[in-house]
Structures are given as C-alpha cells and as structure tokens.
C-alpha cells in the first residue's frame, strides 16, 4: 500500500512513513494510491462485531505490512480500552428515520479521541521498533490538543508540546491539557490567537534545522492515519442500520473536513452511503464552496461551536484531488490561488464530481441554541453545539434513507452553550468528575518563535 501527495511532487511513501511525516514535502496531503474495496459480504459480516474487530478489518488493508496482524489487533485494543462505553461508538435512535452516532465516549469527550488514541499506539509501536524518539508539537483551539495529550501522556520516546491560545479555550478543554501529571506532557498557553499558535507551529516545521534537530512530528488533522481511524465508525454505524442492503445518509459537523472525508473513503471502499452532508456554523466557507464552486476564505467569527471556527479547511484538498481526477498539478494551482488571492474557483467538472456525493448546509448561532433546546424537548437528549449544528442541517436534508448525524463532542465539554439553551448544566461523566479539582501545570509563552524553540530544546534535553 503506497500513499501519494495531493500535489503530485513528493515521493510516494508506505503507511508508516506517511504517518510519521504528516504533511508531504511538496505541501500536499497524503492519500492512498488505490483505495481498497470491501465486498458486500465482507461489509455485511461487520454487523454486530465488537468495535475493535470491525476496526481491524477496515484498517488492515491500508496498513498492509507496516504491522503484523496480531500487532495491529493489539494496538487497536489498547487504543479503545479507555473508552467509557462498551460499544465505543453507540448509535442512538432519535426519531423514525433519524439517528445519532455518539463519538464522545473517549477520554477527552470528543470524536478526535478515535483517531488520536490509535495514532498514539501506532507511533509508539513504530518508535519502539526503531529506537528513535520524537517531539510532537501541536496547535489547538481545544479538542485536538487535549486528545493528543491524552494519547501520548506517559509514552516513552515521545515528548508532546501543545500550543493553545491563552484564555481562549473552554475550562474543560484547558484542564484536560494542564492536569496530566506525566513529565512528557507540556501545555503551553501562548499569548495570542489560535492563528498565532498555528503560524508558530508552521514556522517550526519550516525551520529544517530545528525540525530535524528535535525530530519534530505532527499529529494535526491532515495526518492520514487520523483520517483512516475515522473511516471505521461509518462502517459500524451503517451496518447496524442494515448496510450493505440499505443506503444510509450521513450529516457531519464540519470544520477541517477530516471527519467527513473519512466518510468519502468509506463510500469508496464500497459502503453504500447515499449522500454526505457537511454541516457548518456561520464560518461556512465549505458550505459556500460546495454550493457555488468558489472557495473564498473570510475572517473567522467566534461561535458556540468553536471546533468548527475555521476558514482554511485543510482536508478539503483531499476531496479536490479526487474531484480533479487525481491531478496533482491542478490541485497545486488551486492552492497557489488560495495563497495569493485568498480564494480559488473549482472547475465545473470537479464541482459536479464533488456534489455528486457531498451536500451541505449552514446553521446560525440562534438556530444552534434552538436546536439544542428542541432536541432535548423532543428526544430527551442533551447535545453539544457542534452536534446541534449537524442535527439542524440533517433535518433540512432528510429524505427517504435513514439519516445518521455524528455527535462530535459530549455536551459537558461545552457546558456554557448548553446551559444557555436549556438551563441545564451538563455534568462531566463520573470517570472524570474530579477534573475541576486536579492541580494544573502550564507554561505561559510569548508569541515568539526563537523563545519557543529554546523552551522545547531545553525541555527535551532533560
């Protein structure tokens, strides 16, 4: 199994190198050269299996010989052992044809745990084999950072540094990053915005001397291994509802386009997904691009669903690569337009290819709160604001096929919005109810590349 860059100019790599590299050297994203397919019988056989066994069968062909079968089985088992629900990704019925896929039973209460827990295990296994050590640096607006820290805390051979914007993440998100006691965890509160965090991270990757010196590795959402882990729950959910004998529609609360792109992969593997709907908040660059064919970034406006407050939707590039018939030069041209003019125009043919599978919708702030409220009134479920955006769009798009909406975070991770909508402050699950009492450990840092690099060098040499 080989992986190629969406911009066509970086070397093809195997699974392990693709995972360790993250971003391709030509600035592109890695995708499988050929997407393996599953027969209808293989898909039908997934119904009712334990999540870990289904994950093994879906993931195995992508990993090929990077890990033995028993290694892979063992790593998958470890990745999901800490989840708070035996089904890992339980499907809940909300209405006659309406379902919620709960992806928030992982250790940090957001769907990012599915990918991050697995990538933590896979990277650690690869490092143990090679005897190398790496430094993971990530930038986060909240959920990615906490999931990464949770996945890598205490692992030998890895230091994990997470940059988050000081004072701009929720208290639960911050505490999930600042309360782990392990020495290899370094929460850094940067004086600046999320964009500053991301810019400094990019600077570090572009400083090749520093990058090689500390053996920098990335786990942000463009890492192929993260997308791959997310393909699994499309299979478990759809087969629960009768796939492959039945077609299923899915609505996905969308920011960086990683989660919904995993659905596109599941569909290409043979899972009969009908349409995949990208649900955005008021930061609706993806919704506008899918509707009009013009991708036009604007300023980010903070919302109740901060994990979708984004204008540069990185994984959209992977969908473009397929829509352009895997023409890396065409994708490179679009990304150059984006860099130079803040926008690009999708060709008519590519736009038609994209919208054959993908639909979209947008939900404004007041409708988000209203949806939290009506969902509670009609179904008894408390949902987080990201999930509410999904449910709102799903209702508008509902057709004859069953509709699954992905519940991307636990309501207790965003208690202020939920309380504003319903008057109820959702409690944390009991397994983490002492989060508010644990001591915090964090280093405040200036928005200064040199100082950050020095701090990282000092910390890893201890």
Ligand X SMILES: *Cc1c(COP(=O)(O)O)cnc(C)c1O
Which lies closer to ligand X via its Cβ, residue 107 or residue 244?
107
Nearer residue to ligand X within complex by CB, 67 or 257: 257
Among the listed ranges 51-59, 85-93, 249-257, 452-460, the one in contact with ligand X (CB under 6 A) is: 249-257
By DSSP bridging, strand 158-165 and strand 91-95 are unpaired
Q: Could you give the strand order of the β-sheet that contains 158-165, starting from the edge strand earlier in sequence?
A: 216-217, 134-139, 158-165, 185-190, 443-445
The binder of ligand X chosen from 409, 418, 421, 456 (CB under 6 A): 409
Instruction: State the binding string over 108-127 for ligand X (x if CB under 6 A, else -).
Output: --x-x---------------
> CB of residue 138 vs ligand X: minimum separation in angstroms?
13
The first and second tokens of residue 92, run together, are 């809940």
Least CB distance to ligand X at residue 110 (A): 4
CA distance 361 to 253: 10
321 within 8 A of 252, measured Cβ to Cβ = no
Sequence-distant (6+) residues with CB within 8 A of 350 are 320, 323, 324, 330
Q: Which of residues 361-390 bind ligand X (CB under 6 A)?
A: 386
DSSP annotation of 141 = S
| Least distance (Å) between residue 337 CB and ligand X | 22
Interface pick for ligand X out of 107, 180, 253, 263 (rule CB under 6 A): 253
DSSP string, 94-133: EETTEEEEE---STTSBTHHHHHHHHHHHHHHHHHHHT--
In the bound complex, what is the minimum distance in angstroms from residue 100's beta carbon to ligand X? Answer: 14
Q: How far is the CB of 386 from ligand X (least distance, A)?
A: 4
Least distance to ligand X from the beta carbon of 38, Å?
Answer: 23
Active-site residue among 112, 202, 345, 413?
Answer: 112
Residue 134: closest CA among 126, 143, 144: 126
Q: How many residues bind ligand X (CB under 6 A)?
A: 16
Q: Kindly state whether residue 138 participates in binding ligand X, applying the rule CB under 6 A.
A: no
Part of the chain binding ligand X (CB under 6 A), chosen from 33-41, 53-61, 89-97, 255-263: 255-263
The b-or-e profile of 318-335 (16+ CB within 10 A means b, else e) is bbbbbbbeebbebbbebb
Instruction: Specify the stretch interacting with ligand X by CB under 6 A; choose among 40-48, 85-93, 121-129, 250-258.
Output: 250-258
Looking at the Cβ atoms of 149 and 445, the one nearer to ligand X is 149
- Work out how close the CB of 98 gets to ligand X at its nearest, in angstroms, rounded to a whole number: 19
Q: Decide whether 5 or 220 has the Cβ nearer to ligand X.
A: 220
Q: Which stretch binds ligand X (CB under 6 A): 184-192, 252-260, 266-274, 337-345?
A: 252-260
For ligand X, which is the closer residue by CB, 244 or 263? 263
Distance of CA 7 to the CA centre of its chain: 21
How far, in Å, CA of 222 to CA of 204, rounded? 17
The yes or no reply on residue 259 touching ligand X (CB under 6 A) is yes
Which of 67/414 has CB closer to ligand X? 414
Distances (CA, A) of 32 to 3, 9, 72: 4, 15, 19
User: What pairs with residue 443 in β-bridges?
Assistant: 188
Among 340, 341, 289, CA closest to 315? 289
The least distance separating ligand X from the CB of residue 48, rounded to whole angstroms, comes to 27
Distance of CA 74 to CAs 20, 383, 422, Å?
Answer: 20, 33, 42
Nearest distance from C-beta of residue 453 to ligand X, angstroms: 27
Task: Quote the tokens at residue 193.
Answer: 């915005």
Answer yes or no whether residue 308 interacts with ligand X by CB under 6 A.
yes
The binding track of 260-299 with respect to ligand X, each residue x by CB under 6 A or -, is ----------------------------------------
316-323 helix and 258-268 helix, angle to the nearest 10 degrees: 40
The candidate with the shortest Cα–Cα distance to 403, out of 101, 99, 103, is: 99
Q: State yes or no: residue 160 binds ligand X (CB under 6 A).
A: no
From residue 217, alpha-carbon distances to 5, 24, 214, 424, 456 in Å are 18, 12, 9, 41, 13
The answer to the question of residue 255 lying near ligand X (CB under 6 A) is yes
Instruction: Say whether residue 258 binds ligand X (CB under 6 A).
Output: yes
Specify the length of the chain in residues. 462
Task: Answer yes or no whether residue 254 interacts with ligand X by CB under 6 A.
Answer: yes
Among 108, 121, 307, 422, binds ligand X (CB under 6 A): 307
Stretch that binds ligand X, among 76-84, 153-161, 247-255, 355-363 (CB under 6 A): 247-255
The answer to whether 202 is a known catalytic residue is no
Which of 27, 129, 12, 10 has the alpha carbon at shortest distance from 339?
27
Which x/- pattern over 196-225 shows residues binding ligand X (rule: CB under 6 A)? -------------------------x----
Residues marked active site are found at: 112
Residues at the interface with ligand X (CB under 6 A): 110, 112, 143, 221, 253-259, 307-308, 386, 408-409
């Amino acid at each position: 199994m080989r992986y190629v860059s969406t911009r066509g100019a970086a070397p093809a790599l195997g699974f392990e190198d693709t995972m360790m590299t993250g971003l391709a050297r030509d600035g592109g994203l890695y995708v499988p050269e050929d997407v393996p397919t599953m027969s209808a019988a293989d898909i039908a056989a997934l119904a009712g299996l334990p999540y870990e066994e289904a994950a093994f069968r879906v993931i195995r062909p992508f990993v090929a010989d990077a890990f033995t079968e028993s290694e892979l089985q063992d790593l998958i088992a470890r990745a999901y052992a800490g989840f708070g629900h035996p089904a890992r990704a339980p499907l809940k019925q909300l209405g006659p044809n309406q379902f919620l896929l709960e992806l928030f039973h992982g250790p940090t209460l957001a769907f990012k745990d599915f990918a991050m827990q697995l990538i933590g295990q896979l990277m650690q296994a690869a490092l143990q084999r090679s005897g190398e050590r790496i430094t993971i640096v990530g930038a986060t607006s909240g959920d990615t950072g906490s999931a990464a820290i949770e996945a890598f805390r205490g692992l030998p051979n890895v230091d994990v540094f997470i940059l988050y914007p000081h004072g701009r993440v929720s208290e639960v998100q911050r505490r999930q990053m600042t309360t782990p006691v392990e020495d290899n965890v370094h929460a850094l509160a940067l004086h600046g915005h999320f964009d500053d965090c991301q810019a400094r991270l990019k600077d570090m990757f572009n400083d090749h001397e520093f990058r090689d010196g500390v053996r920098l590795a990335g786990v942000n959402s463009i890492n192929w291994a993260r997308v791959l882990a997310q393909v699994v729950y499309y299979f478990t959910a759809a087969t629960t509802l009768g796939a492959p004998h039945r077609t299923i529609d899915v609505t996905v609360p969308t920011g960086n386009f990683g989660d919904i792109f995993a659905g596109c992969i599941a569909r290409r593997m043979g899972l009969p997904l009908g349409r995949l709907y990208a649900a955005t908040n008021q930061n609706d660059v993806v919704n506008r691009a899918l509707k009009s064919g013009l991708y036009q970034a604007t300023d980010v406006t903070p919302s109740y669903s901060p994990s979708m407050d984004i204008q540069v939707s990185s994984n959209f590039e992977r969908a473009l690569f397929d829509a352009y018939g895997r023409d890396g030069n065409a994708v490179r041209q679009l990304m150059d337009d984006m860099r130079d003019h803040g926008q690009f125009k999708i060709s008519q043919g590519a736009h038609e290819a994209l919208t054959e599978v993908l639909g979209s919708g947008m939900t404004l702030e007041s409708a988000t709160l209203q949806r939290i409220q009506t969902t509670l009134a009609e179904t008894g479920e408390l949902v987080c604001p990201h999930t509410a955006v999904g449910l709102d769009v799903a209702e508008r798009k509902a057709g004859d096929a069953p509709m699954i909406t992905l519940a991307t975070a636990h309501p207790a991770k965003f208690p202020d919005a939920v309380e504003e909508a319903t008057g109820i402050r959702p409690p944390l699950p009991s397994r983490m109810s002492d989060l508010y009492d644990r001591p915090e450990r964090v280093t405040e840092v200036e928005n200064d590349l040199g100082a950050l690099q020095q701090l990282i060098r000092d910390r890893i040499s201890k």
